[in-house]
Amino acid sequence: MGLPIVVYGPEGCGKTAWLRQSIKILEEKDFKVVYVNLTEKIFEKAIFYTEDLKNIVEEVMKGVVGGVAQLAQSYTSDFLSRLSEPLTTLVLKIVYMIMRKLHKPKIAVFVDEAFQNINIKESALYVKAFLNMIEHPPAEYEKMIAVITTSEGLSRAEIGRHEWSYIRPMWNMSKNDFRELYDQIPGEKPSFEDVWRLSGGNPRILRELYMANWDVNEIINDVIDRKRLEVFIRSLDDHDIDRLREATIDPDVLFEKEGLQLLHKLVEMNLIIDDLPERDVKRWIDLPPSRKDLEIGVGEHVAWQTPIYREAVKMTLKKLYKS
């Protein structure tokens, strides 16, 4: 590949599962794989690498956690707090070390939720660092795959200003595929159509509903608290309140000039995905969403990441404004 791939999509849509399955496939093809999830704090969850890279990874790690004893402790505690430099930088160091230590390796590096803890300008520079790794390596390699995923919406615009990566969207599961997952859930459960209307095919929401014993209000209230929706909605003026209420019916109203400022805020809060590409399957990872499906909050240009977010906004509006 000539450029890194940046994959964006809703929270919980399956990006991590896709990367983990890719690891299995690439291991079978003799790739040296490094996977990092920047939302995890425990070493064994945050970093995965093929077994033959253990010495290389530990050599790099010792330099940033302070030695062997500290490295051992990092395996069972919050190792992020022990790092002397960001984990994003550490990933690059590991890959460069692989190139120097091994003879013409095939390398795959996956960085999951890469932009959670860095600012927008840094996100573009981070992608550029991966491009430099591909184009100007310190030693020869046979093949290189670099994939960066994110559910953080604002970085995409900054990254898109530069020709440093391929940017590809991923959506929630298609209805047929989601039905297969739903059918594997044991015990009594709501009808498939009810679960589909709440989740829009998002596997994380399906899991949360199951764990909550299908208590929809529990999940909605959790979203309200986690996203701090009451504080956010109270900060809006009357115009934006009306626009937000309209967006719970058709999110494309936010794509009009009068709604762009509110759209920006909703993207920043990871409630909405904006500026959806054409539904050409070649431009998406897996299958794209429908061109427009208001039942699950998908517009032509704008979509709620999952219908449960839309329901959380509707419930908050009803609580604050009795409508």
pLDDT score recorded for residue 147: 95
Q: Domain check: are 259 and 226 in the same one?
A: yes
**Residue 180 covered by a domain:** yes
The conformation of residue 23, written as its DSSP 8-state character, comes to H
Regarding whether 19 and 63 lie in a shared domain, the answer is yes
Whole-number mean pLDDT of the chain?
89
Using CA atoms, how far apart are residues 87 and 322, in angstroms rounded to an integer? 46
**Domain match, 140 and 181 both:** no
23 domain residue, yes or no: yes
Both 66 and 150 in a single domain? yes
Domain co-membership, 202 together with 313: yes
Q: Is residue 192 part of a domain?
A: yes
Helices 192-199, 203-211: crossing angle, 10 deg rounding? 120
Domain that includes residue 197, residue range: 175-277+290-321
- Within the chain, which residues score under 70 in pLDDT? 64-85, 117, 323
Q: What is the pLDDT of residue 68?
A: 47
Last residue of a domain, one of 118, 143, 169: 169
Q: Of 110, 135, 169, which closes a domain?
A: 169
* Antiparallel, parallel or unpaired: β 5-8 and 143-150: parallel
Residue 285 domain-assigned (yes or no): no
Q: Say which residue the tokens 């991966």 belong to.
A: 130
- Specify if 62 maps to a domain: yes
pTM, rounded to two decimals: 0.87
Both 200 and 216 in one domain: the answer is yes
Asked if residue 193 and residue 133 are part of one domain, the reply reads no
Q: Same domain for 159 and 191?
A: no
Do 151 and 238 share a domain, yes or no? no
Residue 265 included in any domain: yes
Tell whether 304 is covered by a domain.
yes
Residues 164 and 207 in one domain: no
pLDDT score at 66: 59
We report the CATH number of the domain holding residue 44 as: 3.40.50
- Domains in the chain: how many in total? 2
* Range list of β-strands (E), 143-302: 143-150, 166-169, 272-273
Same domain, 188 and 54: no
Task: Output the CA–CA distances (angstroms, integers) from residue 270 to 42, 150, 153, 162, 251, in the order listed.
Answer: 24, 11, 6, 23, 14
Q: Strands, E, within the chain: which ranges?
A: 5-8, 32-37, 47-49, 106-112, 143-150, 166-169, 272-273, 303-304
Structural domain ending residue among the three candidates 150, 169, 188:
169
Same domain, 149 and 259: no
Does residue 284 lie in a domain region?
Answer: no
